[in-house]
Amino acid sequence: MIKKIQFLIEKMSEELPGVLAAAVVTVDDGMSIAEVSRNKSIEPAAAAAYLASIVKSNTRAIKLLADDEVTDDILVTTSQYHFIIRHMPDMPFFIFVMTTKDEWLGKARLLIKKYEVEFAKFSDFLEKQFDY
């Protein structure tokens, strides 16, 4: 199963030239289940560990501020990069994509939404595999 998830993350990252890194990450511990990097200096597993805390904080903040709302995605931008985090409600994982700032943000978001349906098929497996 993990090989299938790895295949999907690699396939997803190949669809946009501006994707620098991508990963499927467990929410609870920030462990990267599958990852890809197009740049030797970028370690998606390390980034994933830190991004998990952002997902958890966002979930708590949304419950506090707008209890009936659901986050579509979390966007972090720098002078050179976009970091897009997509966490579907009640899923034990999130999808993380890092792109260049030149990549179209809308395309990247659509790409993640397209593939999250495929990743969601592995939700039961991931819950059992990682004790959620």
Q: What is the pLDDT of residues 55-88, one digit of tens each?
A: 999 988 988 998 888 888 999 999 999 999 998 8
In this predicted structure, what is the pLDDT of residue 132?
45
- When pLDDT is cut at 50, 70 and 90, the band that residue 19 belongs to is very high
3-state helix, strand, coil in the chain (%, to 5): 45, 25, 30
State how far the Cα of 56 lies from the Cα of 43, in Å rounded to an integer: 21
Largest Cα separation within the chain, whole Å, is: 41
State how far the Cα of 1 lies from the Cα of 39, in Å rounded to an integer: 26
Q: Which domains does the chain have, with CATH numbers?
A: 2-129 (3.30.450.30)
Q: What is the pTM of this model?
A: 0.88
